[in-house]
Structures are given as structure tokens and as C-alpha cells.
């Protein structure tokens, strides 16, 4: 059988006709095609991440020791960097880690397999409450960012937006506003984020900034933020403004949550943006912990309206004088509204460059026009109308990613701001893809896995191997049923609940599950449409919207 080293010889043989016999030449051509395919496969093969198969704790408070046993697999058998970290505030930070002495299979290099770590926890004896131990394994291989970006699902974003669309206003649409809050909160909790709410007083109403933290492994004090405001004006269902931005940061949260990052990821749903950036002003002035360093903010402010019709994009007054290159680019494209505007002030240009480069490399179909706003944008007030502005004022790097609002979307702040026939979900998902790529680079995604368990007193309270991965799909021609593929699951039993979009329970089942198995759930008499699927066991519940056909 030929090898990859044979390829140059084969090319020479073809070029100089070393084998003039036609039969031999045909055989040689076939061999060339085979070897080129083999070579392409070798180039495209990606190193697989290590996977934590088990993680258990055995504390002994009488002699102040903790034994950790874990098992990790790695398809390439790469040596691993293994770290254990400890928290006493539910995983918000792991600042007490340095007080715990570790020995055994920890550090670098550690070979995959069943391993043990011994811990001296005498320094924890006088601290109140329970503790969280987090295991982080990393094989130090490069991460395939394109595969990460490709996970963004426009169909799931549409389902989310169909659910959120509606007036979300403190007086004109309080029920739908609270529904949006519940949706964001449930997403953060289901993804395993450390969840917080910040109260935002405003007259007789108390708004809520909803915060999901994905605590970093090595530089947790450095934070990368993706945000969007979820409220609307009083007369608009807010599909684009700002349902598009909301489902965008929700999708980014889903995609990034399974992976460890050296820095902290934070996702924020801001309230009261439409009342004068009240939520983000409150957060920047009172919500940033002391000693925290914000590395960058990606603010999704209307990311769904796209048009390739000439003259579908207008420009603010004075725009060509401040941004002549951008104005010329729009004019050369016949004023088509087919791009995302990447707005950064002077201090945020490194972040703006990261986003535009990420789009160019990983989402080449996304057109990006980048604006370098002088100072903090006082010269261009139309570019200060969203939640990035308080970060600018505080000297933080922040971007507004926008489809242009009223300079493109004729339904801005009107009852016509709906998703039907108005929004482009391919465009929307492309913006999210670029955001995901930029955030992953800035927060330093790791090619690894992590797991956590909590303990208190002399008993283990919970063991929290990352939630089972549940893949939902229907086969071609399949109706009246859907399939669940259960991956990376350490439970033997799982409940399945299917509900309609109003919360009515349509079916409930309990499955006896095995890892990597596929189960068929029968759904006779259910019409095609969008449903809510809940899976889990006990308090570990995952929710997702699915589309049945």
C-alpha cells in the first residue's frame, strides 16, 4: 500500500510518463486519487479533547484530608495538565485554592486513566458552609475554533425568538418581560453558570440585570462579557430590538458553556435599556467587583435585519465626515443593508480588530464594517444609544454590534418589529459565530474538560459531572416521533418531559439510559411545530426548544 511519502513520486511518474502502458497509467491515477484523499484526511484530522469520565470526593474531617479519584480518557493519549481548585461561595471564585495542599496525580504531565489526588484540607476546617472542588484537565493541544463556530444553530435561534417575541415593557408588557427574564435565568442555570441578579430600581418598578458567570480556571479576575438588553419600548414586539441580540447572546452562552476557559465568561441580560441605559449604567457603577479586570464587552444591539436591496441602508447625518472610508464602502455597495456594524471607540480598537479578524477567518460570508469612534463617541451620538456606552465611559473596551437600527429597519420601535419576513437568521447566526470566535480567543478557551463536586461536613452533598449531553434529531421521513441520543452521562435513569410553548405537559417518560445510546420517543397526534423538551434527574434539569415536523 502506498504511503503519504509516495505522493511526490506519483506526481513525477505522471509528469514524465514513467509508466507509458495505459493500464498502468490508469492504475497510477487511481492510486494518486487515493493517496491525495488519505493526505487530506491526515491534514483534517483534529486532536480530540480529553474527557472526564468520573470524579468523586472522599473527605475525612477527622484527619483533615480529602481524597479525589478521577478517570479521564484521551483518544490520542496525550499527557495532561491536571488542576484542582476549591471554592466556598458556590463556584463564584476559587480564591481558596492556594490554601489546599495537593499531592498525587496533579499538575503536568499526568497520563490519562484512573488517577488519585490527596488533599490536605486543614485550612478549610474553619470556613463556614459547603465547598466546591473543580477538576480541570487540559492536553495543551490547539482548539479547533471552526468546529466551535459551526455549532451555532440558526433554527434554535428562530425558535427562541418566536418564544420571546412580544412587548417586553415594565408597564405595557410586564408578563412577557417576566417571561423573558425566566427564559434567560433558566438558560443560565441549565448551562451550569453561577447565576446572579442585580436589582435596578426605577420609579415604582425594580428591573433585573440577569448575570451568568462561567468562572475562569487560571485568570478568573479577567472577564469577557457578552450582553444584550431584553426589554422593548411600549408599542413594539421587539423581534429585532432587541430580541435578536437576546437570542444571540443566549446561543453564544449555549455554545461556549461546555468548555473551560482561562478567563471568566460573563453573559448579561440588561433591563431598562429603552428607558435610558438604566440597567447597564447601574451595572457599571455598582455591579463590577473590586479587582476585576474587564477584557472586553460584546454588546448585541439588533443583529437580525439584513437586506441586499439597493438603498436599504441610510447613514446618520454627518457620518461621511467622521467615517469617510465606511461611508464610501456603503456607497460603493449601493447602500445595501447587508453588513454588521462593528462599533468601537478609540480605546476599544484592539477589540474591534479581534472581532473583524474573527469574522474574516471563521465567518467569511459575514460583511463587517468597523467604525473607530473618536473618544467616547460624543461626536456621534447615534453610536452611543446602547449598553456599550457606560463601559466606554468607565474606560473599558466595548463594542456595539448592530444592524443599524432605524437607519436600516423601517419597523424600528413600531408594532411591525416582528420576525416574520423581516429578520434574516443566517445573518443573525453569522454575527453570533463571529462573536463566539472572538470571545473564545480573548477568554483563552482550553482544549480540555472540567467537572465539579461539592462537599460539606463528613458527607458528599452532590456530585456534578457536567450535565448529560442530549442530542435531539428526527430522521428523514420520520414523523410522530423523535430521537434522543444520550452522550457523556453518568446516570442510569432520566426523565423526559415534552411541553407545548404555553407550558402544558404533552408527555412524560422515564428512561433507563446507557451512555451513547439512542432512544425513540413516540409523539403521535402532535402537529409539526416548536416544543419545549426537559430532560434530567432530580434538580439537574436541562431545557431546550425542539422543532418537530
Q: Tell me: the pLDDT tens digits for 159-172?
A: 999 999 999 999 99
Residues 308 and 399 in one domain: yes
Q: Which is higher by pLDDT, 23 or 426?
A: 426
- The CATH number of residue 350's host domain is 3.40.630.10
* Secondary structure of residue 291 in the 3-state scheme: coil
Residue 1, domain member (yes or no): no
* Average confidence (pLDDT) over 441-460: 85
Mean pLDDT of the 467-485 span: 77
Residue 173 lies in a domain: yes
Give yes or no for a contact between 80 and 111, defined as CB atoms under 8 angstroms apart: yes
Same domain, 168 and 225: yes
Residues 69 and 21 in one domain: no
Please give the pLDDT value at position 28: 53
Residues 399 and 483 in one domain: no
Please indicate, yes or no, whether residues 390 and 525 belong to a single structural domain of this protein: no
Q: Helices in 287-322 by DSSP H: which ranges?
A: 319-322
Phi, psi of 266 (to 5 degrees): -135, 130
Residue 245 contacts residue 305 (beta carbons within 8 Å): no
Residue 30 pLDDT greater than 70, yes or no:
no
* Whole-number pLDDT of residue 14: 43
The pLDDT assigned to 24 comes to 55
Identify whether the C-beta of residue 531 lies closer than 8 Å to the C-beta of residue 500. yes
* Claim to verify: residue 247 and residue 190 sit in the same structural domain: yes
Rounded-to-integer distance, Cα 223 and Cα 268, Å: 12
Quote the CA–CA distance of 438 and 298 in Å, as a whole number: 9
- Are residues 137 and 271 located together in one domain of the fold? no
pLDDT at 16 over 50: no
**135 and 284 fall within a common domain:** no
Structurally, how many domains does the chain consist of?
A: 4
Contact 427, 461 (CB under 8 A): no
284-300: average pLDDT: 96
Split at pLDDT 50, 70, 90, the class of 525 is: confident
Q: What is the 3-state secondary structure (H, E, C) of 389-419?
A: HHHHHCCCCEEEEECCHHHCCCCCCCCCCCC
CATH number of the domain bearing residue 525: 2.60.40.3080
Q: What percent of the chain has pLDDT over 70?
A: 87
- CB of 467 within 8 A of CB of 450? no
Kindly state the average pLDDT of the residues 430-440.
98
E strands in 189-248: 194-202, 205-214, 219-229
Q: Which domain holds residue 232?
A: 146-442
| 326 and 391 fall within a common domain | yes
**Based on the number of CB atoms within 10 Å of its own CB, is 218 exposed (0-12), middle (13-18) or buried (19 or more)?**
middle
Query: Given this model, what pLDDT does residue 50 score?
Result: 96
State whether residue 510 is helix, strand or coil: strand
Look at residue 534 in the predicted model and tell me its pLDDT. Answer: 80
Q: Are residues 113 and 246 in the same domain?
A: no
Residue 314 scores a pLDDT above 80: yes
Residues 365 and 420 grouped into a single domain: yes
The region of weakest confidence among 281-285, 377-381, 451-455, 485-489 is 485-489
Q: Are residues 284 and 358 in the same domain?
A: yes
Query: Among 392, 425, 459, where does a domain finish?
Result: 459
Judged by average pLDDT, the poorest of 26-30, 372-376, 409-413, 481-485 is: 26-30
Q: At what angle do helices 154-164 and 174-190 cross, to 10 degrees?
A: 140
Amino acid at each position: 500500500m502506498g504511503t503519504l511519502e509516495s505522493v511526490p513520486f506519483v506526481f513525477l511518474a505522471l509528469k514524465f510518463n514513467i509508466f507509458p502502458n495505459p493500464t498502468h497509467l490508469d492504475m497510477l491515477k487511481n492510486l494518486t486519487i487515493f493517496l491525495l484523499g488519505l493526505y487530506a484526511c491526515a491534514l483534517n484530522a483534529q486532536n480530540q479533547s480529553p474527557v472526564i469520565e468520573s470524579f468523586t470526593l472522599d473527605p475525612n474531617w477527622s484527619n483533615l484530608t480529602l481524597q479525589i479519584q478521577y478517570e479521564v480518557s484521551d483518544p490520542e493519549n496525550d499527557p495532561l495538565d491536571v488542576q484542582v481548585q476549591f471554592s466556598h461561595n458556590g463556584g463564584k471564585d476559587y480564591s481558596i485554592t492556594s490554601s489546599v495542599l495537593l499531592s498525587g496525580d496533579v499538575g503536568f504531565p499526568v497520563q490519562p486513566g484512573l488517577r488519585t489526588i490527596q488533599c490536605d484540607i486543614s485550612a478549610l476546617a474553619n470556613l463556614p458552609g459547603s465547598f466546591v472542588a473543580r477538576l480541570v484537565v487540559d492536553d495543551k493541544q490547539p482548539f479547533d475554533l471552526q468546529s466551535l463556530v459551526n455549532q451555532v444553530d440558526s433554527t434554535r435561534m428562530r425558535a427562541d425568538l418566536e418564544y420571546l417575541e412580544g412587548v417586553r415593557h415594565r408597564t405595557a408588557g410586564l408578563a412577557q418581560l417576566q417571561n423573558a427574564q425566566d427564559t434567560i435565568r433558566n438558560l443560565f442555570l441549565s448551562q451550569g453558570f453561577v447565576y446572579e441578579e442585580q436589582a435596578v430600581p426605577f420609579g415604582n418598578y425594580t428591573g433585573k440585570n440577569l448575570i451568568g458567570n462561567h468562572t475562569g480556571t487560571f485568570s478568573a479576575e479577567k472577564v469577557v462579557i457578552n450582553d444584550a438588553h431584553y426589554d422593548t419600548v411600549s408599542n413594539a414586539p421587539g423581534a429585532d430590538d432587541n430580541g435578536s441580540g437576546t437570542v444571540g447572546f443566549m446561543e453564544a452562552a449555549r455554545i461556549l458553556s461546555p468548555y473551560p476557559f482561562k478567563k471568566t465568561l460573563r453573559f448579561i441580560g440588561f433591563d431598562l435599556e429603552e428607558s435610558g441605559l438604566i440597567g447597564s449604567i447601574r451595572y457599571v457603577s455598582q455591579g463590577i467587583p473590586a479587582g476585576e479586570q474587564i477584557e472586553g464587552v460584546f454588546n448585541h444591539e439588533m443583529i437580525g435585519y439584513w437586506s441586499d436591496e439597493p438603498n436599504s441602508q441610510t447613514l446618520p447625518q454627518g457620518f461621511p465626515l467622521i467615517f469617510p472610508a465606511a461611508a464610501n464602502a456603503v456607497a460603493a455597495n449601493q447602500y445595501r443593508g447587508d453588513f454588521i456594524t462593528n462599533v468601537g471607540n478609540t480605546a476599544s480598537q484592539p477589540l474591534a480588530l479581534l472581532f473583524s479578524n474573527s469574522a474574516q477567518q471563521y465567518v467569511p460570508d459575514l460583511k463587517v464594517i468597523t467604525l473607530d469612534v473618536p473618544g467616547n463617541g460624543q461626536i456621534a451620538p447615534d453610536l452611543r444609544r446602547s449598553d456599550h456606552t457606560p463601559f466606554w465611559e468607565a474606560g473599558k473596551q466595548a463594542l456595539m454590534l448592530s444592524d443599524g437600527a432605524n437607519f436600516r429597519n423601517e419597523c424600528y420601535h413600531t408594532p411591525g418589529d416582528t420576525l416574520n419576513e423581516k429578520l434574516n437568521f443566517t445573518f443573525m447566526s453569522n454575527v453570533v459565530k463571529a462573536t463566539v470566535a472572538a470571545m473564545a480567543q480573548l477568554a483563552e478557551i482550553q482544549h480540555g474538560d472540567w467537572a465539579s463536586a461539592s462537599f460539606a461536613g463528613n458527607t458528599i452533598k452532590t456530585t456534578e459531572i457536567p450535565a448529560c449531553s442530549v442530542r435531539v434529531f428526527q430522521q428523514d421521513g420520520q414523523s410522530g416521533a423523535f430521537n434522543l441520543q444520550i452522550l457523556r452521562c453518568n446516570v442510569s435513569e432520566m426523565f423526559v418531559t415534552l411541553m407545548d410553548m404555553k407550558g402544558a405537559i404533552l408527555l412524560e417518560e422515564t428512561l433507563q439510559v446507557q451512555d451513547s445510546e439512542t432512544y425513540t420517543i413516540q409523539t403521535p397526534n402532535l402537529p409539526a411545530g416548536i416544543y419545549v423538551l426537559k430532560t434530567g434527574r432530580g434538580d439537574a434539569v436541562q431545557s431546550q426548544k425542539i422543532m418537530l415536523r
